[in-house]
């Protein structure tokens, strides 16, 4: 049970809130105190659009504890349209239909259950293939 | 800083040691190093270990092992994930080089087989970013698979192009009595082995195991008549972002580049001076990336050294993983860096039999923690 740990990351996990550097305008996710591009302090919040594309992907069959019940699942490095790479599960798609460069969008999903049936449900971002809206 | 040397080494076989605890493993390696050195005393004990707090329910490991070997002086555990062994070695080396102490016993030890496989998977994954990688369910193999898939995509390699790394490590391990998997494998076995996390299959991945390896470090001036003494001429360490996703160049091991650069500068050597290279082939993709970062291949061209045969023992190129590497000697994570060091000592002393690199005078060892976040490089030399 790590309730405070999950609680303090809720903005980032549910809303994909990162940072924009006030000095060099670099977009940063996950947030960090020092801008990786210019080395100056970065604390201004920035909401990412959630749009991106698959940079790389793999499917996990031997899962770490806590994820055994959801195997197999596909994990990707997603390049957000604002620049940063992010590690996230893909959802609503089978591995054979995933390819590098595929457009994806962020959705909120259950990541895992913390502990037994009384444990808290951990929610966060996953990415699904970008939905095409009919005109 | 004064010059320093290794005068004794010891190791256990990397194996499923059901009858041995973590302290017994460490003790066996230390006693062997003392015997090899022909002396028992040392001033401080440095322990490299990653998982004792998670798997063995045992922290304060410096004191645990000091107690077991009957030592009452200073003892610490040093942890940098899978590079804990080399980090402990570097700490011991710096302590002796600085003149603060006159001898350091370093032991890398890991006891992995007491835990269930998915608990080991979880424990190993703690080398990655807990909040931003692990919470998405990615395993350590998974992170390496993400790197390998993109690497193949960008540089146009096929999976079988990585086979020589695995085949070479296994062929060399066949001559190492301490190896976890001391047998050769065929290209067909490589191609047909089970997929773990595509594109990584079982023959791309190193096996875990129990093991300990140890070395005794002293000032070079105190052993100048000892022809078996191996001098530590270069040492460098560097870090990179913890997460793969935070790197500007996810396909380049920046910390390997930096740590090798520091080690080369200290030793006054360049890649062409290195007679053999004990690199960190936890996964075959890491062998390629390590060769590239250390100046043996251009970016994206590491697999060429495998395909051309340059990594083999008797080819005149840059022999790697001469005692089996992580792939076939085995990867008892926090001990691995010390296995690389003592295997380099064996090569330089000319003790490797059929796996001997003829005339080897300068060897390099590189240990990687996490998916490239913590990397330590050492250059050893015999006169």
Dump pLDDT digits (tens) for B143-157.
999 999 999 999 999
Please tell me the CATH code under which domain A3-129 is placed: 2.40.50.840
Q: In this predicted structure, which of A12-26, A117-131, B34-48 has the lowest mean pLDDT? A: A117-131
Contacts of B117 in chain A (CB under 8 A): 62
Residues in Cβ contact with B324 at an 8 Å cutoff, skipping those fewer than 6 apart: B169, B170, B172, B173, B176, B179, B180, B181, B182, B330
CB-facing half-sphere around the CA of A16: CA atoms within 13 A: 24
Dump pLDDT digits (tens) for B67-121.
999 999 999 999 999 999 999 999 999 999 999 999 999 999 999 999 988 889 8
Contacts of A58 in chain B (CB under 8 A): 142, 145-146, 149, 197-200
The answer to whether the Cβ–Cβ distance between A68 and B199 falls below 8 Å is: no
Answer yes or no: are the C-beta atoms of B378 and B90 closer than 8 Å: yes
A31 contacts chain B (CB < 8 A): no
Q: What pLDDT does A8 receive?
A: 93
Question: Which of the residues B120, B125, B137 would you substitute to probe the A interface, choosing the one with the greatest number of A C-beta atoms within 10 Å?
Answer: B137
Q: Which helix (H) or strand (E) holds B151?
A: helix B140-155
C-alpha span between B30 and B9 (Å, rounded): 8
In Å, how far are A66, A107, A130, B39, B124 from A110, measured between CA atoms?
12, 10, 19, 59, 24
Answer yes or no: are the C-beta atoms of B361 and B107 closer than 8 Å: no
Nearest to B256 by CA among B102, B368, B126, B108: B368
DSSP of B31-86: HHHHHHHT----SEEEEE-SSHHHHSS---HHHHHHHHTT--SEEEEE-BTBTHHH
Percentage of chain A modeled with pLDDT above 70: 98
Q: In this predicted structure, which of A81-95, A114-128, B113-127 has the lowest mean pLDDT? A: A114-128
Give yes or no: B178 in active site: no
The answer to whether the Cβ–Cβ distance between A62 and B200 falls below 8 Å is: no
Which residues in chain A (46-65) have CB-CB distances under 8 A to chain B?
Answer: 55-65
Question: Could you give phi then psi for residue B158, rounded to 5 degrees?
Answer: -100, 165
Contacts of A60 in chain B (CB under 8 A): 137-139, 142, 197
A106 contacts chain B (CB < 8 A): no
- Give the residue carrying structure tokens 């972002």: B241
Q: Coil, helix or strand for B326?
A: helix
Residues in Cβ contact with B267 at an 8 Å cutoff, skipping those fewer than 6 apart: B233, B234, B362, B379, B381
Of A64, A85, A95, the CB nearest to B245: A85
Please determine, for residue A134, whether its predicted confidence score (pLDDT) is greater than 80.
no
Question: Which of the residues A64, A110, A114 would you substitute to probe the B interface, choosing the one with the greatest number of B C-beta atoms within 10 Å?
Answer: A64
Rounded to the nearest integer, the mean pLDDT of chain B is 97
Q: Is B203 exposed, middle or buried (0-12, 13-18, 19+ CB in 10 A)?
A: buried
With bands split at pLDDT 50, 70 and 90, how would you rate the model's confidence at A135? low
Q: In this predicted structure, which of A46-50, A63-67, B255-259, B365-369 has the lowest mean pLDDT? A: A63-67
Please determine, for residue A113, whether its predicted confidence score (pLDDT) is greater than 90.
no
Chain-centre distance for alpha carbon B185: 22
Please determine, for residue B161, whether its predicted confidence score (pLDDT) is greater than 60.
yes
With bands split at pLDDT 50, 70 and 90, how would you rate the model's confidence at A1? low
Please determine, for residue B164, whether its predicted confidence score (pLDDT) is greater than 90.
yes
Question: Which of the residues A11, A83, A87 would you substitute to probe the B interface, choosing the one with the greatest number of B C-beta atoms within 10 Å?
Answer: A87
List the structure tokens of B75: 């003892």
C-alpha span between A111 and A28 (Å, rounded): 23
Q: What pLDDT does A118 receive?
A: 74
C-alpha span between A132 and A21 (Å, rounded): 32
Domain ranges in chain A? 3-129
Please determine, for residue B381, whether its predicted confidence score (pLDDT) is greater than 90.
yes
Domains and CATH numbers, chain B: 4-116+206-381 (3.40.47.10)
A122 contacts chain B (CB < 8 A): yes
């Amino acid at each position: 049970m790590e309730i405070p740990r999950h609680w303090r990351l809720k903005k980032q996990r549910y809303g994909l809130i990162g940072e924009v550097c006030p000095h060099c305008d670099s977009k940063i996710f996950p947030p960090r105190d020092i801008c990786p591009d210019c080395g100056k302090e970065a604390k201004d919040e920035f909401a990412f659009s959630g749009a991106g594309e698959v940079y790389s992907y793999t499917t996990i069959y031997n899962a770490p504890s806590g994820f055994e019940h959801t195997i197999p699942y596909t994990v990707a490095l997603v390049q957000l349209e604002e620049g940063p790479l992010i590690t996230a599960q893909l959802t609503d798609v089978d591995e054979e239909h995933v390819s590098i460069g595929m457009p994806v969008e962020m959705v909120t999903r259950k990541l895992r259950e913390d502990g037994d049936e009384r444990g808290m449900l951990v929610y966060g971002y996953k990415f699904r293939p970008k939905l095409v809206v009919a005109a | 800083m004064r010059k320093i040397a290794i005068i004794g080494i010891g190791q256990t076989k990397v194996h499923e040691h059901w009858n041995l605890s973590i302290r017994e493993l460490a003790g066996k390696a230390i006693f062997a190093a003392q015997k090899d050195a022909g002396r028992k005393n040392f001033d401080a004990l440095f322990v490299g270990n990653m998982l004792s707090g998670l798997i063995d329910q045992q922290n304060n490991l410096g004191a645990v092992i000091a107690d077991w070997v009957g030592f009452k002086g200073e003892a610490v555990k040093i942890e940098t994930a899978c590079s804990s062994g080399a980090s402990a070695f570097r700490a011991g080396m710096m302590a002796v080089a600085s003149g603060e102490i006159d001898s350091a016993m370093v032991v890398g030890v890991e006891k992995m087989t007491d835990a269930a496989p998915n608990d080991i998977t979880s424990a190993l994954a703690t080398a990655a970013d807990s909040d931003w990688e692990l919470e998405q369910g990615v395993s350590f193999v998974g992170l390496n698979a993400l790197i390998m898939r993109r690497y193949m995509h960008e540089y146009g390699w096929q999976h079988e192009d990585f086979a020589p790394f695995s085949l070479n490590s296994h062929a060399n391990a066949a001559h190492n009595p301490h190896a976890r998997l001391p047998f050769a494998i065929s290209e067909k076995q490589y191609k047909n082995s089970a997929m773990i996390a595509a594109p990584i299959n079982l023959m791309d991945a190193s096996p875990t195991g129990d093991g300990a390896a140890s070395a005794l470090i002293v000032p070079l001036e105190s052993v100048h008549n000892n022809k078996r003494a191996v001098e530590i001429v270069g040492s460098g360490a560097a870090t990179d972002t913890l997460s793969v996703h935070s790197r500007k160049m996810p396909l380049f091991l920046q910390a390997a580049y930096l740590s090798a650069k520091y080690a080369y500068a200290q030793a006054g050597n360049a890649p062409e001076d290195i007679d053999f290279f004990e690199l960190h082939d936890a996964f075959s993709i890491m062998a390629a990336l390590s060769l590239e970062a250390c100046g043996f291949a251009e970016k994206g061209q590491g697999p060429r050294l495998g395909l051309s045969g340059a990594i083999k023992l008797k080819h005149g190129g840059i022999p790697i993983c001469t005692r089996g590497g992580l792939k076939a000697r085995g990867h008892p994570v926090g001990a691995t860096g010390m296995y690389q060091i003592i295997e380099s000592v064996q090569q330089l002393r000319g003790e490797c039999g059929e796996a001997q690199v003829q005339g080897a005078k300068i060897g390099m060892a590189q240990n990687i923690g996490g998916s490239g976040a913590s990397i330590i490089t050492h250059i050893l030399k015999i006169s």
